[in-house]
Structure 1
Amino acid sequence: MLEDLPPSLTHPDGSATVRLLSYNVRSMRDDVPALTRVIRACAPDVVCVQEAPRFFRWRKYAARLARESGLVVVTGGATASGPLILADLRARVLHTEDVLLPRTRGLHQRGFATAVLGFGDARLGVISAHLSMSAAERYEQSGLLLRHLALLGAPHTVVGGDFNDNPGGRAFDRLAAALQDGWETAPWGGRFTSRPGDPAQRIDAVFAGEGVEVLGCGVPAGLAGVTPADLRAATDHLPVLAALRVPASA
Protein backbone atom coordinates (compact mmCIF):
# COMPACT_ATOMS: atom_id res chain seq x y z
CA MET A 1 0.00 0.00 0.00
CA LEU A 2 2.64 2.57 1.02
CA GLU A 3 4.62 1.82 -2.13
CA ASP A 4 1.70 3.19 -4.17
CA LEU A 5 2.35 6.69 -2.81
CA PRO A 6 5.05 8.63 -4.69
CA PRO A 7 8.37 8.92 -2.83
CA SER A 8 10.10 12.13 -1.82
CA LEU A 9 11.89 13.56 -4.82
CA THR A 10 13.38 16.76 -6.18
CA HIS A 11 12.61 16.93 -9.90
CA PRO A 12 14.88 18.29 -12.67
CA ASP A 13 12.58 21.30 -13.15
CA GLY A 14 13.10 22.34 -9.50
CA SER A 15 9.71 21.14 -8.30
CA ALA A 16 9.54 18.71 -5.40
CA THR A 17 7.43 15.80 -4.27
CA VAL A 18 6.95 16.21 -0.54
CA ARG A 19 5.43 13.65 1.82
CA LEU A 20 3.52 15.33 4.64
CA LEU A 21 2.05 13.52 7.64
CA SER A 22 -0.57 14.97 9.99
CA TYR A 23 -0.88 13.22 13.35
CA ASN A 24 -2.53 13.94 16.70
CA VAL A 25 -0.14 12.34 19.24
CA ARG A 26 -2.28 12.91 22.38
CA SER A 27 0.59 14.56 24.28
CA MET A 28 2.65 11.36 23.94
CA ARG A 29 0.63 9.81 26.75
CA ASP A 30 0.40 6.45 25.01
CA ASP A 31 2.95 4.02 23.53
CA VAL A 32 5.75 6.28 22.27
CA PRO A 33 7.81 3.50 20.60
CA ALA A 34 4.67 2.48 18.66
CA LEU A 35 4.04 6.13 17.78
CA THR A 36 7.53 6.65 16.39
CA ARG A 37 7.39 3.34 14.49
CA VAL A 38 4.29 4.63 12.72
CA ILE A 39 5.92 7.96 11.87
CA ARG A 40 9.12 6.36 10.59
CA ALA A 41 7.21 3.85 8.48
CA CYS A 42 5.36 6.70 6.73
CA ALA A 43 8.73 8.19 5.62
CA PRO A 44 7.52 11.82 5.82
CA ASP A 45 9.49 14.92 4.92
CA VAL A 46 7.24 17.01 7.17
CA VAL A 47 5.04 16.11 10.13
CA CYS A 48 2.26 18.38 11.35
CA VAL A 49 1.77 17.26 14.95
CA GLN A 50 -1.26 18.09 17.07
CA GLU A 51 -1.41 17.77 20.85
CA ALA A 52 2.36 17.83 21.30
CA PRO A 53 3.35 18.02 24.99
CA ARG A 54 3.01 21.60 26.19
CA PHE A 55 3.60 21.61 29.93
CA PHE A 56 6.52 20.49 32.15
CA ARG A 57 9.71 19.79 30.14
CA TRP A 58 7.79 19.96 26.89
CA ARG A 59 10.91 20.73 24.83
CA LYS A 60 12.50 17.48 26.01
CA TYR A 61 9.46 15.51 24.84
CA ALA A 62 9.35 17.30 21.48
CA ALA A 63 13.05 16.57 20.98
CA ARG A 64 12.48 12.90 21.86
CA LEU A 65 9.61 12.61 19.38
CA ALA A 66 11.74 14.16 16.63
CA ARG A 67 14.87 12.15 17.41
CA GLU A 68 13.13 8.77 17.65
CA SER A 69 11.22 9.54 14.44
CA GLY A 70 14.42 10.43 12.57
CA LEU A 71 13.42 14.10 12.24
CA VAL A 72 14.19 17.51 13.73
CA VAL A 73 11.99 20.08 15.46
CA VAL A 74 11.12 23.03 13.21
CA THR A 75 8.75 25.03 15.41
CA GLY A 76 5.78 24.85 17.74
CA GLY A 77 4.91 22.92 20.87
CA ALA A 78 3.90 24.86 23.97
CA THR A 79 4.56 28.15 22.18
CA ALA A 80 1.75 27.27 19.75
CA SER A 81 -0.34 25.60 22.47
CA GLY A 82 0.14 22.11 21.06
CA PRO A 83 0.70 22.16 17.27
CA LEU A 84 4.26 21.26 16.30
CA ILE A 85 6.12 20.91 13.00
CA LEU A 86 8.87 18.33 12.46
CA ALA A 87 10.88 17.81 9.28
CA ASP A 88 13.72 15.77 7.87
CA LEU A 89 17.05 17.27 6.92
CA ARG A 90 15.94 17.57 3.29
CA ALA A 91 13.86 20.61 4.28
CA ARG A 92 15.44 24.05 4.48
CA VAL A 93 13.79 26.13 7.18
CA LEU A 94 13.20 29.61 5.73
CA HIS A 95 10.80 31.07 8.29
CA THR A 96 8.92 30.03 11.43
CA GLU A 97 6.28 31.64 13.62
CA ASP A 98 4.08 30.33 16.42
CA VAL A 99 0.65 31.93 16.74
CA LEU A 100 -1.69 31.96 19.75
CA LEU A 101 -5.35 32.48 18.85
CA PRO A 102 -7.95 34.56 20.70
CA ARG A 103 -9.26 32.47 23.57
CA THR A 104 -12.86 31.99 24.65
CA ARG A 105 -13.19 31.98 28.41
CA GLY A 106 -13.54 28.44 29.74
CA LEU A 107 -12.09 26.81 26.61
CA HIS A 108 -8.58 25.62 25.86
CA GLN A 109 -6.00 27.98 24.39
CA ARG A 110 -5.42 27.16 20.71
CA GLY A 111 -2.68 28.11 18.29
CA PHE A 112 -0.90 27.42 15.01
CA ALA A 113 2.66 26.30 14.31
CA THR A 114 3.72 27.86 11.00
CA ALA A 115 6.79 27.53 8.80
CA VAL A 116 8.03 28.13 5.28
CA LEU A 117 10.21 25.26 4.09
CA GLY A 118 12.36 24.90 0.99
CA PHE A 119 12.69 21.72 -1.08
CA GLY A 120 14.88 22.16 -4.13
CA ASP A 121 13.55 25.29 -5.83
CA ALA A 122 10.11 24.86 -4.27
CA ARG A 123 8.90 26.83 -1.24
CA LEU A 124 6.06 25.49 0.84
CA GLY A 125 4.19 27.30 3.61
CA VAL A 126 3.06 24.82 6.27
CA ILE A 127 0.62 25.19 9.16
CA SER A 128 -0.11 22.60 11.83
CA ALA A 129 -3.49 23.33 13.43
CA HIS A 130 -5.82 21.92 16.07
CA LEU A 131 -9.19 23.67 16.12
CA SER A 132 -11.62 24.08 19.00
CA MET A 133 -14.19 21.62 20.29
CA SER A 134 -16.67 24.53 20.30
CA ALA A 135 -18.47 24.88 16.95
CA ALA A 136 -18.66 28.67 17.14
CA GLU A 137 -15.02 29.13 18.13
CA ARG A 138 -13.92 26.50 15.62
CA TYR A 139 -15.61 28.37 12.77
CA GLU A 140 -13.85 31.60 13.75
CA GLN A 141 -10.53 29.75 13.93
CA SER A 142 -11.03 28.32 10.45
CA GLY A 143 -11.18 31.87 9.12
CA LEU A 144 -8.05 32.82 11.07
CA LEU A 145 -6.31 29.77 9.66
CA LEU A 146 -6.97 30.89 6.09
CA ARG A 147 -5.78 34.40 6.99
CA HIS A 148 -2.51 33.16 8.53
CA LEU A 149 -1.94 30.86 5.58
CA ALA A 150 -2.05 33.89 3.28
CA LEU A 151 0.21 35.87 5.64
CA LEU A 152 2.97 33.28 5.27
CA GLY A 153 3.75 34.83 1.89
CA ALA A 154 4.68 31.45 0.42
CA PRO A 155 3.75 30.70 -3.21
CA HIS A 156 2.35 27.30 -2.22
CA THR A 157 0.77 26.19 1.04
CA VAL A 158 -0.52 23.20 2.99
CA VAL A 159 -2.32 22.66 6.29
CA GLY A 160 -2.27 19.48 8.35
CA GLY A 161 -4.56 19.32 11.33
CA ASP A 162 -7.10 17.94 13.70
CA PHE A 163 -10.10 20.10 12.87
CA ASN A 164 -12.56 18.61 15.39
CA ASP A 165 -15.08 18.74 12.55
CA ASN A 166 -16.21 16.30 9.88
CA PRO A 167 -16.97 17.06 6.23
CA GLY A 168 -20.33 18.82 6.22
CA GLY A 169 -19.40 20.84 9.31
CA ARG A 170 -19.16 24.62 8.92
CA ALA A 171 -15.45 24.89 9.75
CA PHE A 172 -14.38 21.87 7.67
CA ASP A 173 -16.42 23.01 4.69
CA ARG A 174 -15.07 26.56 4.97
CA LEU A 175 -11.55 25.20 4.58
CA ALA A 176 -12.57 22.80 1.81
CA ALA A 177 -14.14 25.69 -0.14
CA ALA A 178 -10.87 27.64 -0.10
CA LEU A 179 -8.33 24.78 -0.28
CA GLN A 180 -8.04 21.29 -1.73
CA ASP A 181 -9.24 18.60 0.65
CA GLY A 182 -6.49 16.02 0.10
CA TRP A 183 -8.72 12.96 0.50
CA GLU A 184 -11.39 14.27 -1.86
CA THR A 185 -8.80 15.40 -4.42
CA ALA A 186 -6.72 12.21 -4.58
CA PRO A 187 -8.07 9.52 -2.24
CA TRP A 188 -5.52 6.91 -1.19
CA GLY A 189 -5.48 4.54 1.75
CA GLY A 190 -8.18 4.79 4.39
CA ARG A 191 -10.80 7.50 4.81
CA PHE A 192 -11.54 7.65 8.54
CA THR A 193 -9.03 8.90 11.12
CA SER A 194 -10.70 7.37 14.17
CA ARG A 195 -9.30 4.04 15.37
CA PRO A 196 -11.08 0.78 14.50
CA GLY A 197 -13.94 0.27 16.92
CA ASP A 198 -14.39 3.99 17.56
CA PRO A 199 -17.19 5.99 15.84
CA ALA A 200 -16.16 6.61 12.22
CA GLN A 201 -14.91 10.18 11.81
CA ARG A 202 -12.68 12.17 9.45
CA ILE A 203 -11.75 15.07 11.70
CA ASP A 204 -8.06 14.94 10.69
CA ALA A 205 -7.11 16.11 7.22
CA VAL A 206 -4.55 17.67 4.91
CA PHE A 207 -5.62 20.72 2.88
CA ALA A 208 -3.45 22.01 0.03
CA GLY A 209 -3.39 25.45 -1.54
CA GLU A 210 -3.73 26.42 -5.17
CA GLY A 211 -1.00 25.11 -7.46
CA VAL A 212 -0.04 22.17 -5.23
CA GLU A 213 -0.74 18.85 -6.92
CA VAL A 214 -2.12 16.28 -4.49
CA LEU A 215 -0.78 12.92 -5.65
CA GLY A 216 -2.46 10.90 -2.91
CA CYS A 217 -3.84 11.44 0.57
CA GLY A 218 -5.36 9.25 3.27
CA VAL A 219 -4.75 6.99 6.23
CA PRO A 220 -1.84 4.66 5.44
CA ALA A 221 -2.23 0.89 5.78
CA GLY A 222 0.19 -1.99 5.52
CA LEU A 223 3.09 0.00 6.99
CA ALA A 224 6.30 -2.02 7.15
CA GLY A 225 7.15 -2.97 10.72
CA VAL A 226 3.86 -1.58 12.06
CA THR A 227 1.04 -3.80 13.36
CA PRO A 228 -2.64 -2.90 13.81
CA ALA A 229 -1.90 -3.05 17.54
CA ASP A 230 0.74 -0.33 17.09
CA LEU A 231 -1.81 1.97 15.45
CA ARG A 232 -4.22 1.45 18.34
CA ALA A 233 -1.53 1.85 20.99
CA ALA A 234 0.26 4.91 19.54
CA THR A 235 -2.51 7.48 20.11
CA ASP A 236 -6.28 7.87 19.79
CA HIS A 237 -6.14 9.13 16.18
CA LEU A 238 -4.94 7.59 12.93
CA PRO A 239 -2.38 9.50 10.83
CA VAL A 240 -3.08 11.18 7.50
CA LEU A 241 -0.30 10.97 4.90
CA ALA A 242 -0.18 13.02 1.71
CA ALA A 243 2.20 13.15 -1.25
CA LEU A 244 2.27 16.63 -2.75
CA ARG A 245 4.03 17.93 -5.85
CA VAL A 246 5.08 21.51 -5.19
CA PRO A 247 6.08 23.64 -8.21
CA ALA A 248 9.37 25.49 -8.31
CA SER A 249 9.07 29.06 -7.07
CA ALA A 250 9.50 31.82 -9.60
Structure 2
Amino acid sequence: MVPVRLVTFNVHHGVGDDGRHDLPRLARLLADADPDVICLQEVDRHFGDRSDFVDQALLLSRALDRELVFGASIDEAPPAGRTERRQYGNALLSRLPVLTSEVHRLPGRGEPRSALRALVALDGTALWVTTTHLSSKAAADRATQAAAVAALHADPAVPGVLVGDLNADAGAPELGVLRERFGDAWELAPDRTDQAGRFSLRAGQGLTHPARRPRVRIDQVWVSPGLAVADARVLDGSATSDHHPLLVDLLVEGPARRPAARGDAG
Protein backbone atom coordinates (compact mmCIF):
# COMPACT_ATOMS: atom_id res chain seq x y z
CA MET A 1 0.00 0.00 0.00
CA VAL A 2 1.26 3.46 -0.94
CA PRO A 3 0.54 6.25 1.60
CA VAL A 4 -0.83 9.56 0.33
CA ARG A 5 -1.75 12.51 2.52
CA LEU A 6 -4.41 14.79 1.05
CA VAL A 7 -5.92 18.06 2.25
CA THR A 8 -9.07 19.65 0.85
CA PHE A 9 -9.81 23.24 1.82
CA ASN A 10 -12.22 25.97 0.74
CA VAL A 11 -9.86 28.89 1.30
CA HIS A 12 -12.41 31.72 0.90
CA HIS A 13 -9.95 33.53 -1.41
CA GLY A 14 -7.44 33.70 1.44
CA VAL A 15 -9.58 35.82 3.76
CA GLY A 16 -9.87 34.70 7.39
CA ASP A 17 -12.50 35.42 10.00
CA ASP A 18 -10.68 38.67 10.79
CA GLY A 19 -11.46 39.94 7.28
CA ARG A 20 -7.80 40.06 6.24
CA HIS A 21 -6.40 38.65 3.00
CA ASP A 22 -3.23 36.89 4.16
CA LEU A 23 -1.67 34.25 1.89
CA PRO A 24 1.47 33.69 4.04
CA ARG A 25 -0.57 32.44 6.99
CA LEU A 26 -2.58 30.19 4.67
CA ALA A 27 0.66 28.80 3.26
CA ARG A 28 1.97 28.15 6.79
CA LEU A 29 -1.14 26.19 7.74
CA LEU A 30 -0.85 24.04 4.61
CA ALA A 31 2.91 23.54 5.04
CA ASP A 32 2.44 22.39 8.65
CA ALA A 33 -0.03 19.73 7.51
CA ASP A 34 2.65 18.37 5.13
CA PRO A 35 0.25 16.94 2.51
CA ASP A 36 1.28 15.23 -0.72
CA VAL A 37 -1.76 16.65 -2.55
CA ILE A 38 -3.61 19.87 -1.70
CA CYS A 39 -7.05 20.52 -3.20
CA LEU A 40 -8.30 24.09 -2.87
CA GLN A 41 -11.60 25.75 -3.69
CA GLU A 42 -12.45 29.47 -3.99
CA VAL A 43 -9.02 30.41 -5.31
CA ASP A 44 -8.53 33.77 -7.05
CA ARG A 45 -6.22 34.59 -9.93
CA HIS A 46 -6.05 38.37 -10.52
CA PHE A 47 -9.72 38.47 -9.52
CA GLY A 48 -10.10 41.75 -7.68
CA ASP A 49 -9.46 43.95 -4.67
CA ARG A 50 -10.58 41.26 -2.23
CA SER A 51 -7.37 39.33 -2.99
CA ASP A 52 -5.19 42.25 -4.08
CA PHE A 53 -5.40 41.15 -7.74
CA VAL A 54 -2.67 38.52 -7.12
CA ASP A 55 -2.38 35.06 -8.63
CA GLN A 56 -3.11 33.11 -5.46
CA ALA A 57 -2.65 29.71 -7.07
CA LEU A 58 0.82 30.52 -8.37
CA LEU A 59 1.97 32.20 -5.15
CA LEU A 60 0.83 29.27 -3.01
CA SER A 61 2.45 26.72 -5.33
CA ARG A 62 5.76 28.57 -5.10
CA ALA A 63 5.56 29.03 -1.33
CA LEU A 64 4.83 25.32 -0.83
CA ASP A 65 7.09 24.04 -3.62
CA ARG A 66 4.29 22.10 -5.27
CA GLU A 67 3.32 21.48 -8.88
CA LEU A 68 0.25 23.53 -9.79
CA VAL A 69 -2.88 22.69 -11.74
CA PHE A 70 -5.70 25.26 -11.89
CA GLY A 71 -9.25 25.04 -13.15
CA ALA A 72 -11.24 28.24 -13.60
CA SER A 73 -14.96 28.16 -12.87
CA ILE A 74 -15.20 31.89 -13.59
CA ASP A 75 -13.00 33.28 -16.37
CA GLU A 76 -13.62 36.87 -17.41
CA ALA A 77 -11.89 39.55 -19.46
CA PRO A 78 -9.51 41.88 -17.62
CA PRO A 79 -11.10 44.92 -15.98
CA ALA A 80 -10.18 48.39 -17.15
CA GLY A 81 -6.54 49.20 -16.57
CA ARG A 82 -5.42 45.59 -16.10
CA THR A 83 -4.10 42.91 -18.47
CA GLU A 84 -4.70 39.63 -16.61
CA ARG A 85 -7.97 37.72 -16.93
CA ARG A 86 -10.11 37.54 -13.80
CA GLN A 87 -10.31 33.90 -12.73
CA TYR A 88 -11.77 32.04 -9.77
CA GLY A 89 -12.01 28.31 -9.20
CA ASN A 90 -10.23 25.19 -8.01
CA ALA A 91 -6.52 24.51 -7.61
CA LEU A 92 -4.50 21.36 -7.05
CA LEU A 93 -0.98 21.57 -5.61
CA SER A 94 1.02 18.35 -5.65
CA ARG A 95 4.47 17.17 -4.71
CA LEU A 96 3.65 13.98 -6.61
CA PRO A 97 4.19 14.22 -10.38
CA VAL A 98 1.06 15.27 -12.27
CA LEU A 99 0.70 13.06 -15.35
CA THR A 100 -2.34 14.75 -16.88
CA SER A 101 -5.13 17.13 -15.93
CA GLU A 102 -8.46 18.35 -17.26
CA VAL A 103 -11.22 20.80 -16.35
CA HIS A 104 -14.90 19.86 -16.67
CA ARG A 105 -17.72 22.38 -16.67
CA LEU A 106 -20.63 21.27 -14.53
CA PRO A 107 -24.36 21.71 -15.25
CA GLY A 108 -26.56 24.00 -13.20
CA ARG A 109 -27.78 27.55 -12.86
CA GLY A 110 -26.26 30.54 -11.11
CA GLU A 111 -22.55 30.73 -10.40
CA PRO A 112 -20.55 28.62 -12.87
CA ARG A 113 -19.15 25.43 -11.34
CA SER A 114 -16.42 23.08 -12.52
CA ALA A 115 -14.43 20.01 -11.55
CA LEU A 116 -10.63 19.89 -11.76
CA ARG A 117 -9.29 16.39 -12.36
CA ALA A 118 -5.65 15.32 -12.25
CA LEU A 119 -3.81 12.01 -12.47
CA VAL A 120 -0.85 11.89 -10.09
CA ALA A 121 1.94 9.33 -10.19
CA LEU A 122 2.69 7.11 -7.21
CA ASP A 123 5.29 4.43 -6.66
CA GLY A 124 4.34 1.91 -9.34
CA THR A 125 0.75 3.12 -9.70
CA ALA A 126 -1.35 6.28 -10.11
CA LEU A 127 -4.27 8.07 -8.48
CA TRP A 128 -7.03 10.23 -9.94
CA VAL A 129 -7.82 13.28 -7.83
CA THR A 130 -10.92 15.34 -8.60
CA THR A 131 -11.65 18.56 -6.72
CA THR A 132 -14.88 20.49 -7.07
CA HIS A 133 -17.20 23.04 -5.49
CA LEU A 134 -20.90 22.32 -5.95
CA SER A 135 -23.79 24.77 -6.03
CA SER A 136 -24.73 26.50 -2.80
CA LYS A 137 -28.23 27.35 -4.01
CA ALA A 138 -30.25 24.36 -5.22
CA ALA A 139 -30.25 20.69 -4.27
CA ALA A 140 -31.37 19.81 -7.80
CA ASP A 141 -28.29 21.48 -9.25
CA ARG A 142 -26.05 19.72 -6.74
CA ALA A 143 -27.60 16.39 -7.72
CA THR A 144 -26.85 16.85 -11.42
CA GLN A 145 -23.38 18.17 -10.63
CA ALA A 146 -22.60 15.25 -8.31
CA ALA A 147 -23.72 12.83 -11.02
CA ALA A 148 -21.51 14.55 -13.59
CA VAL A 149 -18.49 14.40 -11.30
CA ALA A 150 -19.10 10.76 -10.36
CA ALA A 151 -19.30 9.86 -14.06
CA LEU A 152 -15.75 11.12 -14.56
CA HIS A 153 -14.45 8.09 -12.67
CA ALA A 154 -15.26 5.60 -15.41
CA ASP A 155 -12.18 3.38 -15.16
CA PRO A 156 -12.35 1.19 -12.04
CA ALA A 157 -8.80 -0.02 -12.71
CA VAL A 158 -7.38 3.32 -11.53
CA PRO A 159 -8.25 4.34 -7.95
CA GLY A 160 -9.53 7.84 -7.40
CA VAL A 161 -10.70 10.39 -4.85
CA LEU A 162 -13.39 13.01 -5.24
CA VAL A 163 -13.02 15.93 -2.84
CA GLY A 164 -14.21 19.43 -2.21
CA ASP A 165 -16.86 21.72 -0.83
CA LEU A 166 -20.06 19.95 -1.80
CA ASN A 167 -22.41 22.37 -0.02
CA ALA A 168 -24.42 19.45 1.35
CA ASP A 169 -23.98 16.93 4.14
CA ALA A 170 -22.58 13.58 3.08
CA GLY A 171 -25.97 11.99 3.81
CA ALA A 172 -27.98 14.46 1.74
CA PRO A 173 -30.26 12.93 -0.92
CA GLU A 174 -28.56 14.85 -3.74
CA LEU A 175 -25.26 13.11 -3.00
CA GLY A 176 -26.79 9.64 -3.32
CA VAL A 177 -24.84 8.95 -6.52
CA LEU A 178 -21.58 9.40 -4.59
CA ARG A 179 -22.65 7.00 -1.84
CA GLU A 180 -23.48 4.41 -4.50
CA ARG A 181 -20.03 4.52 -6.10
CA PHE A 182 -17.62 5.77 -3.44
CA GLY A 183 -16.85 5.50 0.24
CA ASP A 184 -17.04 8.43 2.64
CA ALA A 185 -13.48 8.83 3.97
CA TRP A 186 -14.64 10.38 7.23
CA GLU A 187 -16.84 7.38 8.02
CA LEU A 188 -14.19 4.89 6.87
CA ALA A 189 -11.36 6.36 8.96
CA PRO A 190 -10.56 4.32 12.09
CA ASP A 191 -9.11 7.46 13.72
CA ARG A 192 -10.92 10.80 13.49
CA THR A 193 -10.47 14.18 15.14
CA ASP A 194 -12.11 17.54 14.59
CA GLN A 195 -12.38 21.01 16.04
CA ALA A 196 -15.28 20.30 18.40
CA GLY A 197 -14.40 20.29 22.08
CA ARG A 198 -13.74 16.95 23.70
CA PHE A 199 -17.01 17.01 25.60
CA SER A 200 -19.08 18.64 22.86
CA LEU A 201 -22.11 16.84 21.50
CA ARG A 202 -20.68 17.62 18.05
CA ALA A 203 -17.32 15.97 18.70
CA GLY A 204 -16.31 13.42 16.09
CA GLN A 205 -18.80 14.60 13.48
CA GLY A 206 -16.22 16.19 11.17
CA LEU A 207 -18.00 19.53 10.90
CA THR A 208 -16.13 22.06 8.76
CA HIS A 209 -18.34 25.13 8.27
CA PRO A 210 -18.64 27.87 9.36
CA ALA A 211 -15.17 27.96 10.84
CA ARG A 212 -16.10 29.94 13.94
CA ARG A 213 -18.86 27.55 15.06
CA PRO A 214 -19.05 24.60 12.65
CA ARG A 215 -22.54 23.22 12.08
CA VAL A 216 -22.26 21.22 8.85
CA ARG A 217 -19.95 18.68 7.20
CA ILE A 218 -19.88 19.99 3.66
CA ASP A 219 -16.14 19.56 2.97
CA GLN A 220 -15.64 15.91 2.10
CA VAL A 221 -13.39 13.23 0.63
CA TRP A 222 -14.89 10.30 -1.25
CA VAL A 223 -12.74 7.30 -2.15
CA SER A 224 -13.07 4.61 -4.80
CA PRO A 225 -12.45 0.89 -4.27
CA GLY A 226 -8.72 0.21 -3.99
CA LEU A 227 -8.22 2.93 -1.40
CA ALA A 228 -8.08 2.60 2.37
CA VAL A 229 -8.33 5.45 4.85
CA ALA A 230 -5.90 5.47 7.76
CA ASP A 231 -7.20 8.58 9.49
CA ALA A 232 -9.14 11.81 8.97
CA ARG A 233 -8.69 15.14 10.72
CA VAL A 234 -10.47 18.47 10.57
CA LEU A 235 -7.71 21.05 11.01
CA ASP A 236 -8.18 24.52 12.45
CA GLY A 237 -8.60 26.93 9.56
CA SER A 238 -10.44 29.70 11.40
CA ALA A 239 -7.58 32.18 11.03
CA THR A 240 -7.36 31.67 7.27
CA SER A 241 -10.87 30.99 5.89
CA ASP A 242 -14.55 30.60 6.75
CA HIS A 243 -14.08 26.81 6.45
CA HIS A 244 -11.85 24.31 8.21
CA PRO A 245 -9.61 22.08 6.05
CA LEU A 246 -10.05 18.31 6.03
CA LEU A 247 -6.95 16.10 6.03
CA VAL A 248 -7.05 12.39 5.18
CA ASP A 249 -4.27 9.83 5.14
CA LEU A 250 -4.93 7.37 2.32
CA LEU A 251 -3.42 4.00 1.48
CA VAL A 252 -3.45 3.19 -2.22
CA GLU A 253 -3.12 -0.36 -3.48
CA GLY A 254 0.15 -0.76 -5.33
CA PRO A 255 0.81 -3.13 -8.25
CA ALA A 256 0.76 -6.82 -7.48
CA ARG A 257 4.23 -8.19 -6.91
CA ARG A 258 5.12 -11.52 -8.46
CA PRO A 259 6.02 -14.24 -5.97
CA ALA A 260 9.72 -14.96 -5.69
CA ALA A 261 10.66 -17.97 -7.79
CA ARG A 262 12.73 -20.78 -6.36
CA GLY A 263 16.36 -19.85 -6.51
CA ASP A 264 15.62 -16.11 -6.49
CA ALA A 265 17.70 -14.14 -4.03
CA GLY A 266 15.68 -13.02 -1.16
- Per the normalisation by structure 2, the TM-score is 0.76
Give the paired residue count.
222
Task: Tell me the distance in 1 between the aligned counterparts of 2:143 and 2:217.
Answer: 17
The structure with the largest helix share of the pair is: 1
Q: Deviations 1:39-59 (Å, cap 9, x if unpaired)?
A: 111100001111111554878
Matches within 5 A, 1:57-76: 60-76=55-71
User: Equivalent residue for 1:141?
Assistant: 145
Contact 1:75/1:96 (<8 A) preserved: no
1:20 is aligned to 2:6: yes
Tell me, yes or no, if the aligned pair for 2:211 and 2:243 is still in contact at 8 Å.
no
Higher RCO (Cα < 8 Å, 6 or more apart): 1
Q: How much has 1:195 moved relative to structure 2?
A: 4.5
Whether 1:83 and 2:90 are equivalent positions in the alignment is yes
2:178 to 159, 164, 175: 175
Question: Over the residues paired in the alignment, what is the CA RMSD in angstroms?
Answer: 2.3
Distance in 1 (CA, whole Å) between partners of 2:54 and 2:252 is: 31
2:192 to 177, 188, 191: 188
After TM superposition, give the deviation of residue 203 of structure 1 in Å: 0.3
The one-character-per-residue Cα deviations of 1:183-240 (angstroms, maximum 9, x if unpaired) are 10014221111245435110001111001011112313xxxxxxx6xx3220110000
**Structure 2 residue aligned with 1:95:** 100
Distance verdict in 2 for CA 1:75–1:202, change over 3 Å: same
Gaps of 5+ in 1: 1-14, 221-227
Greater Cα offset, 118-127 or 63-72: 63-72
Code of the aligned partner of 1:156:
P
Post-superposition offset of 1:139: 0.6
Kindly, what percent of the aligned residue pairs are identical?
31
Match among 120, 129, 133 for residue 123 of structure 2: 120
Q: Give the aligned partner of residue 207 of structure 1.
A: 222
Looking at structure 2, the residues matched to 52 and 128 of structure 1 have their Cα atoms a distance apart, in angstroms, of 12
Q: Unaligned regions of 5+ residues in structure 2, if any?
A: 16-20, 76-86, 195-205, 257-266
